[in-house]
Amino acid sequence: MTRRFVLPLWFGWLVLSGLAPLCAQPFGTDLIVGETAGPLYRVAPNGSFTTIGRYAASSITLSDVTIDADDRNVIVTTSRQAPWITYLLSVDLATSAPTPFATVSGSLTNLDENGDFIVSSETNTQARILRVGRSGTITTMLAQGPGTGTWLATRDVTTGNWLFATNRLDVLEYDPASASVVRTLQGPVALPWTFVPHPGAPYAYLMTDRIWRLDTRTGAVATLTATFPAWIGGAALAIDRDAGPSGARIYATSANSPLDVIRAVDLQGNIVGSIGPFPGKIGGIAFDRSRNLVPVLNRAPNDRFLLVSFANAVGLRYAVVLGFSGCWPGAGLRDGRRIGLTPDALSVLSAQGPIPPYLTNNVGTLGPTGRAVATLNLNRLGPSARGVRLWAVAIVFDPAAPLGVAQISSPAVIVL
């Protein structure tokens, strides 16, 4: 029954692949905005905002927010200078309760394919990229000597590599399989303060006094906006996947002294809207319920849960589909939406249902909270799998939706 349900839709996607223009998908509904003074807000689409809680103190500032693998929580990064110490808090968005789980020297947190946290760090003697495990364990991924500045880290999902921006005005491309820098790209002409990827496309966006676009294939850097004043130390970027004809938008802080506003910028660099002003300076922006598909390590080295989470999709059918061929250019649907997975034999096979014992529960019905858990267990492949890259998307089906496809996740990349 499961196979009969998914397969016709999947064949339709394969037939239409490449025939439709790229268009973004719904990403999240509310913005989660953190001010440097500590308040954390939920911002509704109409621009109204409510306070979730306060997560800083007189000598501690809020420096970043990111949605956790559990879509109900947000990771709040707070920092104290002299000496620089960072505290990672997991905040339950329903109860506002914070749970501290790690203390490091750094800021700006991202998730990897294990559900661990990648943190940029700086001390008086080193600039480092740290991996903070979900249990609080800390390991160093990469370190360089003094003068390199705090690195900004983001994930290039199209390759599976990490991108680290330094104050040397370049971007290091780091391969997690070989644990080494494989390429250096030219960054913007000024020190960037924040750094985000385009979901599923080979671009990353950096912010100085303007917004820059880095093409991760060629290394070309383009100026996306004219002067876009951001408060130093409080700059923040987020990118959504607006389903409308305008496509994706970038949300960026803009100084409106003495208060901050959030500007919505299209990918051509046009300011198309604003939110605020806020009572104070903004340290972080994230989209609530934006992690629709997240891998989390269950048992080393390659047994993972694939956490599926879609708001307002309770009781609908879903499929988690895997592929070897990457997420760019992906495949287009007739209505202009894009699935961020380039079709291949594995994607066709996984779309039809489980591939036991390697892939299980990847097709089914979302539970009462709009969630499900698939399992990808490749441990039996042993060390021969090291370095292999897999991409995954989650799709929600609804007979009432256009083409029967209700929602499509951003692609997730897993480097074995």
pLDDT score recorded for residue 204: 92
Give buried/exposed letters for 84-115 (b at 16+ CB in 10 A, else e). bebbbbbbbbeeeebeebbebbbbbbbbbbbb
**Coil, strand, or helix at residue 91?**
strand
- Phi-psi region at 149: left, alpha or beta (left = phi > 0; alpha = psi -120 to 50): left
pLDDT tens column, 125-162: 778 888 998 888 889 998 876 655 667 889 999 999 99
pLDDT at 134: 84
Say how far apart CA 111 and CA 78 lie, in whole Å.
17
Which pLDDT score, from 0 to 100, does residue 366 have?
96
E runs forming strands in 123-257 = 127-132, 138-144, 152-156, 161-165, 170-175, 180-186, 194-197, 203-207, 211-215, 221-223, 237-239, 249-256
Q: Name the CATH architecture for the domain at 2-22+292-415.
A: Sandwich (2.60)
Query: What is residue 289's predicted lDDT score, i.e. its pLDDT?
Result: 83
Give the per-residue pLDDT at 39: 93
Per the structure block, which two tokens stand in for 20? 């439709």
SS3 state at 154 = strand
Q: What is the DSSP letter of 218?
A: T
Which residues of the chain are modeled with pLDDT < 70?
1-28, 81-84, 106-108, 123-124, 145-150, 229-234, 241-247, 255-258
Cα gap 51→33, rounded to integer Å: 10
User: Residue 28 CB: number of other CB atoms within 10 A?
Assistant: 20
First to last CA, the chain: 32
Give the residue extent of every domain in the chain: 2-22+292-415, 31-287
Helix (H, G, I), strand (E, B) or coil at 357: coil
| Rounded CA separation 227/229 (Å) | 6
Strands 293-299 and 221-223 turn out to be: unpaired
Peptide linkage before 199 cis (omega within 30 of 0): no
pLDDT for the residue 82? 61
CA 371 – CA 359 distance, rounded (Å): 17
Query: For residues 100 and 289, what is the distance between their CA atoms, to the nearest angstrom?
Result: 21
DSSP, collapsed to helix, strand or coil, labels residue 221 as: strand
DSSP 247-294: --EEEEEEEETTEEEEEEEETTS-EEEEE---SS-EEEEEETT--SEE
Question: 59 CB contacts (<8 Å, ≥6 apart)?
Answer: 80
CATH code, residues 31-287: 2.120.10.30
- Count CB neighbours of 227 within 10 A: 8
Encoded tokens for 345: 């034999």
Neighbours of 315 (CB within 10 A): 10
Give the tokens for residue 277.
């002003």
Count other C-beta atoms under 10 Å from residue 292's C-beta: 27
| Tokens matching residue 328 | 């760019």
User: With contact defined as beta carbons under 8 Å apart, do 183 and 194 qualify?
Assistant: no
Judge contact between 212 and 226, C-beta under 8 A.
no
Distance CA 407, CA 340 (A): 12
One-letter amino acid at 388 equals V
